Structure 1
Amino acid sequence: MSSSQTAPAAPGRTARRRVLLTRTLIGTALVWLSLLAARPLLGGRVWWWVLIDLLPPLALVVVPLALLTAGAVLLLRPRRGLLREGRWLTGLAAVALIVAVPQSGLNLRALGGQEPPPPGALKIMSWDTLEWAQGNDPGHFHRYLKQHRADVYLLQEYMEIGDGEPVPVDDEDRLRASFPGYHFAMAGELLTMSRFPIEEQTVVRARLPEPETSWDDYWDIRVLRTDIVVDGTEVSFYNVHLPDLFYLGASPFSAEFYRIVADLDHRRTAVLKALRADIENNDNPKVVAGVLNLVPGSGALRWLDGLTDAAHSSDSLYPVSFWVGKPQAWRLDWAFSATGAKAHGYRLTDPEGLSSHRAQEFFLST
């Protein structure tokens, strides 16, 4: 044999490598299944779980699907000593896949088609405007709002950034000119506009630590409830903007980054508790919509148990709202209905370069 030729690996060594690889895949399946089982238990309860939730939700399905494929190959082409491992891998991957689907944001109801909205249904728009029209053409911004022709607008980030801090914005005169006859409710950076009379507006307040900012209302006001009378029925609309998951202004290699993540998680949970309490004491038909900054399958969504996700009425198999212009892999914007209110035809629309969030649109019947 020439010295330039390489001798084939010994059969025993090759078999050991196959066993090692298969057992590594089994270990991966066990770890993944444990992660999936822990999400509903730890999400929203321990602050550091937020960092795990930053994983694109669709990956929760992709990984067990790949492991299931590998297990199926082992079963269909069994090798000596690997049949048992193949069964273990296939079984664990199948269970992980079943657990992952409800957490992944996949909307399997889309396969059944959309139910058309009934006559007289209201059109609702909820949108994170990303610092209002700052940095954009104001004319384009207002045309974008008007073209949706919504009966109720739930808008977040009615604000600007000045010297690195959020500051109030005053665009009321132009809004009233663009939406004649509409009624307005404003608090902090939340703005609700309604074609129907607003009977009452209430800030749903949580017990929060004092913010280190010149505009306290930006941090303290995260839920604006407006009670709107529609054809004799009072409907409560909750305009929501929960705190972000993390802060890009600090390095993830610094202690400050993790301190801020923990603080934001504390604030988010406190607001969700206050929101839940208000919902439970409110018998009106209701809508909760806005930027929840929660991903599908997050344990923190338990605070909204009993409400119906408006995306169930979407024809999109995988509705995502963020990050427009970047890898669109996350749904951070949500809409829910309850107590006789029902959403129809939910969709996420292109913000035309005005925001990194897609706008939520749907029809509502009561």
Structure 2
Amino acid sequence: MGWLLLVIARPLLGGRVRWWVLVDLLPPLVLVLVPFVLLVAGLVVEARRRGGRARERRWVMGLAAIGLIVAVPQSGLNLRALGPHEPPPSDALKVVSWDTLEWHQGNDADRFYRYLKQQKADVYLLQEYMEIGDGEPVPVDDGARLRAAFPGYHFASAGELLTVSRFPIKAQAVVKAPLPKPITSWDDYWNIRALRTDVVVGGSDISLYNVHLPDLFSLEESPFSVDFYRIVADLDRRRTAVLRALHTDIAGNHKPKLVAGEFNVVPGSGELRWLDGLTDAAHSSDSLYPVSFWVGKLQAWRLDWAFSGTGARIHRYRLTDPMGLSSHRAQEFRLSV
């Protein structure tokens, strides 16, 4: 009963109750594994007719079955991977969205740029175009190297967001949200979390939203400390403000659109309600359990997302190996209008 209440409450409280981020630390796949194991164990015992209390056992099995049904949409399982996928049209754009994890800081810069160029994308939506200096994020200017690596491409950047497009950029704008003033030497890092660029493809405009939402919590603080929850509250206010502003901008934008980046949102979270009406790119993936982020050797979370809307369609979505350059896989897919 407790587990059933958990999976029912999760989409209702996630993104609305600040301390719920602790629950969202749980790998989403566990949400289906627990009721699945309970259901299978109950079926085995029932089949062997062992022990009494059959009525109570069947009651538990029934609750486990309901919990399993409720949990599947929240688990990150992509059941559409089992079905056929429509091939992309020949003129579909190749798009790569990637959280670079502090650009090439700590890595071989030549190897980093080789990785980017090897993607051969028409559009790159890159997050964390920045470095860490004295424990704080600082801007980086790799403009000359970028122009040399991507001749003929067009660039738009704001804060730590960088969009690189083979197609002309008609307009760019920060999706502004009412945020509290941060205590930092680089305010744009905290204040700019969504960058919209309108590019011209074949005479038509397409809106590209490059997004990087704040973290759910701080790894530097103990969950048993007051500071941990103070930071959680501040990050939650920022995330909600950005998502609300993003939702408003998307609703008022009638152009074909792509929204992609590092959302720090897990499958089934209530925060995904702000993106209702858009189509999840994973629907066109062949992976039964798409995972974009890992800790150590545990690969269990999808924090990076891509969505399309208003006539734009995503094909052949996959999460590619970052070759040790980041803890986030790159999102790679084809986009057609």
Q: Normalising by structure 1, what TM-score? A: 0.91
For residue 82 of structure 1, report the CA deviation from its aligned partner: 1.6
Question: Of 66, 77, 87, which residue of structure 1 is paired with 2:58?
Answer: 87
Partner of 1:235: 206
Say yes or no: does 1:67 pair with 2:6: no
Of residues 178-187 and 69-78 in structure 1, the stretch that sits farther from structure 2 once superposed is: 69-78
Is 1:265 paired with 2:239? Answer: no
1:323–1:356 contact (8 Å) kept in structure 2: yes
Note the residue ranges of structure 1 that are not aligned, 5 or more in a row.
1-29
What is the one-letter code of the residue matched to 1:283? H
1:342 maps onto 2:317 in alignment: no
Pair 1:121 & 2:95 matched? no
1:38: Cα distance to partner?
Answer: 0.5
Q: CA deviation at 1:322?
A: 0.4
Provide the identity percentage.
75
Specify which of 297, 311, 334 is matched with residue 268 of structure 2.
297
Counterparts of residues 82-161 of structure 1 (less than 5 Å): 82-161=53-132
Deviations 1:181-237 (A, max 9, x none): 000000000000000000000000111100010000000000000000100110000
The residue aligned with 2:225 is 254
| 2:189 match | 218
Match of 2:287 in 1: 316
**Please, which of 313, 325, 330 is the counterpart of residue 354 of structure 1?**
325
Q: 1:58 aligns with which of 15, 26, 29?
A: 29
Partners of 1:325 and 1:352 in 2: CA distance = 15
Measured on the aligned residues, the alpha-carbon RMSD in Å equals 0.9
CA shift at 1:80, angstroms? 5.3
Structure 1 stretches of 4+ with a deviation exceeding 2 A read 77-81
Q: Secondary structure at the match of 1:117?
A: coil
On the 8 A contact 1:40/1:297 being kept in 2, the answer is yes
Question: CA 1:347–1:324 in structure 2 vs 1: closer, same or farther (change >3 Å)?
Answer: farther
Aligned counterparts of 2:237 and 2:49: Cα–Cα separation in 1: 51
* Structure with more strand by fraction: 2
The one-letter code of the counterpart of 2:23 is: I
2: distance between equivalents of 1:343 and 1:216? Answer: 34
| Amino acid corresponding to residue 335 of structure 2 in structure 1 | L
Q: Does 1:202 align with 2:153?
A: no
1:271-312 Cα distance to aligned partner (Å, 9 max, x none): 000000000000000000000000000011000001000011
| Counterpart residue identity of residue 290, structure 2 | P
| SS in structure 1 at match of 2:290 | coil
SS state of the match for residue 18, structure 2?
A: coil
Structure 2 residue runs without a partner (length 5+): none
Of stretches 301-310 and 258-267 in structure 1, the one that deviates more from structure 2 is 258-267
Q: Which has the larger radius of gyration?
A: 1
Is residue 252 of structure 2 the alignment partner of residue 278 of structure 1?
no
Cα distance between partner residues in 1 of 2:166 and 2:268: 34
Tell me the secondary structure at the aligned position of residue 48 of structure 1: helix
What corresponds to 1:5 in structure 2? Answer: none
